[in-house]
Amino acid sequence: MNTLRDSLSILIGGPAGEGIMQSGRFLGRALARYGYHVFIDNEYPSLIRGGLNTSFVRFGSREIWSHNSYIHLLIAFSNDAINKHKGALVDKSIILYDPRTVRDLKDLNFKTISIPMLEMVRKIGAPDIVKNSVAIGAILYIIDINLDYFYEVIEKFFAKKVKNIEYNKKAAELGYKFIEDNYPDLRNYYDVEKPKDKTQKILLTGNEAIGLASIKSGLKFFAAYPITPASPLFHYILNKQFEKNIIVVQAESELAAINMAMGASYAGARAMVATSGTGFGLMTEGFGAVAMTECPVVIMIAMRPGPGSGMPTFTSQADLRFILHASHGEFARVVVAPGDVEEAFYLTGEAFNIADKFQLPVVILVDKFLAEGLKTVNYLDEDKIVIDRGKLVKPAPKSDVIEVFPRYLAKDYLIAERILPGTEGWVVNANITEHDETGWSKIIPEVREVMANRRIKKIELVEKYIKSSVKTYGDPSSDTLIISWGSTKGPILEAMHLLENEDINVGFVQVVYLSPFPRKEISRLLKGDKKVILIENNYTGQLGSLLKENLFFDPEFKMLRDNGLPFMPEEIYNFVMEVIKSD
Amino acid sequence: MIDAKVLDSGRMIKWCPGCGNFGTFRALKDAIVSLGLRQDQVVLVAGIGCSGTITNYIKVNTFHTLHGRVLPVSMGIKLVNPRLTVIGSAGDGDAYAIGVAHLIHAARKNIDITYIVHNNKVYGLTTGQASPTSDFGQVTRSTPIGALEEPVNPLALALSSGATFVARGFAGDVKHLTKLIIEGIKHKGFALIDVLQPCVVWDRVHSYSWYRERVYDLNEEGHDTSDIVAAFRKSFEWGDRIPIGIFYKVDKPTYEERLPQLKKIPIEEDLKAIKIKDLIEELI
């Protein structure tokens, strides 16, 4: 499996605080500019200095959906980087290391190349962190890519910081030259297929995809309390707040954040919060209030292993059922789980429209693997995000007397018209207590009956509205069918690629909307005598439990785990092979 | 000028006869009227408890929100439409217990919101438990041997949190309270108005007459409202004499004024004109 020429995997590893993840991004961007498809997974402990950070950069001539179990080029800035990852090395692997920070490599049966990276950058008077660019230069020689692609990335990134541009370019050149002079035969050593399509690709994280689409969707208010792995979305919106006119507030808590967003939504802004499971715990009461007041709010949740603080910098899919049930009382909520950065972009656009049209909370549910992982896409079509604010109206004043707008009018339709406070001639009420159509409190069973039903049954309208709540890949009519949701899509598609190379075709059903739950579509796909494999990054099989609950269906094979790491394509490949062999 | 009656929603008021809320409600309406504010340009955000039902009785834009969350909701409203006059109304449980963090942070931000706290030193609607402002030793339903904690000092808390307008009123002196609310709304920045309100059912000690014997207007006694140290000193005066009036007032830029993007009103922007081509370019 590891001999395929269609992709190559590079791991850069070293202590936190030394620019490991940034250099992964630089390398990835250079490759994407060259025309390669790129996928990057960063793993890092929750600390600021020391430890071991790694950036796994995989690229190829075809679309790359995830990282994998092999490392061809290992760039080591510490012994840890080698010790923890040598199991992934293959026959042709090369370890590039800095002799100042890596020692005693005698027992390794792999090609090792010592490059005095730190010494080289100190010689040119550059800061130590620039050593990463020496490594990138060396890599580019080995994979036979002109340094210019890296130079473009550096020039764009540092913009007017001339000195930084100069240092990084010089460093890359030194790295490139070092290999060229000492190991000239390594040029194009892996003979990776060159990209057929030379168009530059967009390389972005799930957080960035959601941020971009939110801005396009008219996001005007964003509140957050910093939390991994959702903070990068907060930072992204923060960085764009002035040019795109967005109010961004660092709230005193998640409690405050969601209530601020609810207020901003009532006043008319498209509003969003971002958090992870533990932060959403604090938002839960506000989540119900959003539903009760029917204020549209989009909530981005990036999962990490819990409970408690759990493992803040790792990935998980264990918060699904929590989110599906969060808050007391019953009401409609929408939960959408993109599987990759491209889906994150378009589904975020859809999330804002659904929130507005149906006046309810919409959760964009991702995990650390998708939120912080990077992937290339060819193109993002911003014109496909078309803003629809639903029944937001601006009635003319009725008379000289100020009227109360029937904000929660329940007569013939489920979704009431909405006006903004400040509309001339009208006042409008929002209320977390049970209320009648005026929004003034009315705590009597007859009113309750009507209002509660409106809030619950709107999910049926959402169901009719959503065009694609399930996606399929491979051959869904095959005897073996994988069912999963969210970011596992990447490793699953990669596993299917491995299977296809052995002429094994399986089907894959990706559940995109978890609420409303697409029972009809899934039921249709599960029909027939099949081996169904459930794959989830949790221990209890939460999608599995939804299948049981909604379809009385219990998948026979389950690949479940929540140890903090995303699945590897090879693990899934092996699991599927076992299933196929089983009777 | 509109008549205060226009502000009545017509719904039956369910406060107990003699409740301090009546005075505060009256003062709020009179303040809105005398400021000449348009009903459709005012938003009243209220929390939970007896005072929280105020949104049902008034005809302005209202948001009856969760216990303690008056300020975050108010902030969200104000920041996306600063043209609105946003008034928060909360009880002492809302403001000084479950939502106390928001008081500190709204004050720090100096956001232009007027926060009226109906402080009756007891939990009314939940039937008489202690409040964060109950006196040390005060016997309530939840403090059978007397409150074991020192009461929160709301004025000192607001002062130390950076509030730019700090005042205390008395629900038994509607005229004076009206003036405070007028000044609070006119003030550009965060204004806390703590209102001493008797709870005629659950607190037999702090009655109208108990307060009347003690309260005095500190602004009539030469208090310098620009002197924060004097304001702190006055905020600790409690017992035979209880000061009411404006303790502190200072002009500082508001949070909204510090936000460059608020040159445009967020809710008035043409969302369909937003382009992100430049942002996508950055990712290549």
CB burial of A193-209 (b: ≥16 within 10 Å; e: otherwise) equals eebeeeeebbbbbbbbb
Report, as an integer, the average pLDDT of A162-184: 98
> In angstroms, what separates the C-alpha of A109 from chain B's closest C-alpha?
38
CA distance A432 to A293: 6
CA distance A318 to B23: 52
> In angstroms, what separates the C-alpha of A442 from chain B's closest C-alpha?
9
Indicate if the alpha-carbon torsion angle A210, A211, A217, A221 is positive or negative: positive
Is A440's CB within 8 Å of B65's CB?
no
**What's the predicted TM-score (pTM) here?**
0.97
Kindly report, residue by residue over B147-173, the tens digit of the pLDDT: 999 999 999 999 999 999 999 999 999
Kindly report, residue by residue over B80-120, the tens digit of the pLDDT: 999 999 999 999 999 999 999 999 999 999 999 999 999 99
Residue of chain A whose Cα is closest to the Cα of B264: A245
Is A268 an 8 Å CB contact of chain B?
A: yes
For residue B280, is pLDDT > 80?
yes
In this prediction, residue A18 carries a pLDDT of 93
Is B269's CB within 8 Å of A220's CB?
yes
> In angstroms, what separates the C-alpha of B49 from chain A's closest C-alpha?
11
Report, as an integer, the average pLDDT of B61-75: 98
> In angstroms, what separates the C-alpha of B273 from chain A's closest C-alpha?
9
Q: Which of A257, A259, A429 sits opposite B62 (nearest CB)?
A: A429
CA distance B205 to B195: 17
Is A421 an 8 Å CB contact of chain B?
A: yes
Residue of chain A whose Cα is closest to the Cα of B105: A252
Kindly report, residue by residue over A482-539, the tens digit of the pLDDT: 999 999 999 999 999 999 999 999 999 999 999 999 999 999 999 999 999 999 999 9
Please classify residue A403 by burial: count the beta carbons closer than 10 Å to its beta carbon, then call 0-12 exposed, 13-18 middle and 19+ buried.
middle
Q: What backbone phi and psi angles, to 5 degrees, belong to A221?
A: -140, 125
Angle at A55 between CA A52 and CA A59, to 5 degrees: 160
Q: Which of A215, A217, A242 sits opposite B279 (nearest CB)?
A: A215
Task: With CA atoms as reference, report the closest residue to A515 among A279, A373, A384, A322.
Answer: A322
**DSSP class of B96:** I
DSSP A484-518: EEGGGHHHHHHHHHHHHTTT---EEEEE-EEES--
In this prediction, residue A413 carries a pLDDT of 65
Residues in chain A with CB shorter than 8 Å from the CB of B84 are 267, 421-422
For residue A126, is pLDDT > 60?
yes
Report, as an integer, the average pLDDT of B28-39: 97
| Three-state SS at A351 | helix
In this prediction, residue B46 carries a pLDDT of 98
Is A202 an 8 Å CB contact of chain B?
A: yes
* Helix axes B154-161 and B228-235, enclosed angle (nearest 10): 160
CA distance B141 to B153: 22
Task: With CA atoms as reference, report the closest residue to B235 among B179, B154, B180.
Answer: B154
Q: Which of A240, A247, A380 sits opposite B266 (nearest CB)?
A: A247
Report, as an integer, the average pLDDT of A198-217: 97
CA distance B54 to B44: 9
Kindly report, residue by residue over A454-463, the tens digit of the pLDDT: 999 999 999 9
Beta-carbon-side half-sphere exposure of residue B68 (alpha carbons within 13 Å): 15
A569: preceding bond cis by omega (within 30 degrees): no
CA distance A287 to A61: 44
Is A347 an 8 Å CB contact of chain B?
A: no
From residue A275, how far is each of A21, A85, A232, B155, B271 by CA, in Å? 22, 31, 10, 33, 25
For residue A4, is pLDDT > 80?
no
Name, in order, each residue with C-beta under 8 angstroms of A200's C-beta and a sequence gap of 6 or more. Answer: A32, A33, A35, B284
Q: What backbone phi and psi angles, to 5 degrees, belong to B282?
A: -60, -20
Question: Domains in chain A, please, with CATH?
Answer: 7-200 (3.40.920.10), 204-384 (3.40.50.970), 403-462 (no CATH), 470-581 (3.40.50.920)
Kindly report, residue by residue over A390-444, the tens digit of the pLDDT: 999 999 998 889 999 999 998 766 899 999 999 999 999 999 999 999 999 999 9
Give bridge partners of residue B63 from the DSSP assignment. A430, B45
Residues in chain A with CB shorter than 8 Å from the CB of B272 are 218, 387
For residue B80, how many other CB atoms are within 10 A of its CB?
A: 27
In this prediction, residue A3 carries a pLDDT of 53
Residues in chain A with CB shorter than 8 Å from the CB of B269 are 218, 220, 245
CA distance B189 to B187: 6
Residues in chain A: 583
In this prediction, residue A197 carries a pLDDT of 84
> In angstroms, what separates the C-alpha of B129 from chain A's closest C-alpha?
22
Choosing among A204, A385, A427, which should be mutated to test the B contact, i.e. which has the most B CBs within 10 A? A427
Is A269's CB within 8 Å of B266's CB?
yes
**DSSP class of A460:** H
Calculate what percentage of chain B has a pLDDT beyond 90.
Answer: 98
Whole-number mean pLDDT of chain B?
97
In this prediction, residue B145 carries a pLDDT of 97
For residue B174, is pLDDT > 80?
yes
Contact of A93 with A75, CB cutoff 8 Å: no
Is B80's CB within 8 Å of A246's CB?
no
From residue B31, how far is each of A369, B2, B37, B74, B219 by CA, in Å? 55, 11, 9, 19, 19
From residue A180, how far is each of A121, A139, A177 by CA, in Å? 18, 11, 5
For residue B273, is pLDDT > 50?
yes
Q: Please state the three-class secondary structure of A91-142 as a single string.
A: EEEEEEECCCCCCCCCCCCCEEEECCHHHHHHHCCCCHHHHHHHHHHHHHHH
Is A22 an 8 Å CB contact of chain B?
A: no
The class level of CATH for B4-283 reads alpha beta
Kindly report, residue by residue over B212-256, the tens digit of the pLDDT: 999 999 999 999 999 999 999 999 999 999 999 999 999 999 999
Give kind and range of the element (H or E) at residue A272.
strand A270-275
In this prediction, residue A411 carries a pLDDT of 74
In this prediction, residue A1 carries a pLDDT of 46
DSSP A74-91: EEESSHHHHHTTGGGEEE
Kindly report, residue by residue over A330-384, the tens digit of the pLDDT: 999 999 999 999 999 999 999 999 999 999 999 999 999 999 999 999 999 999 9
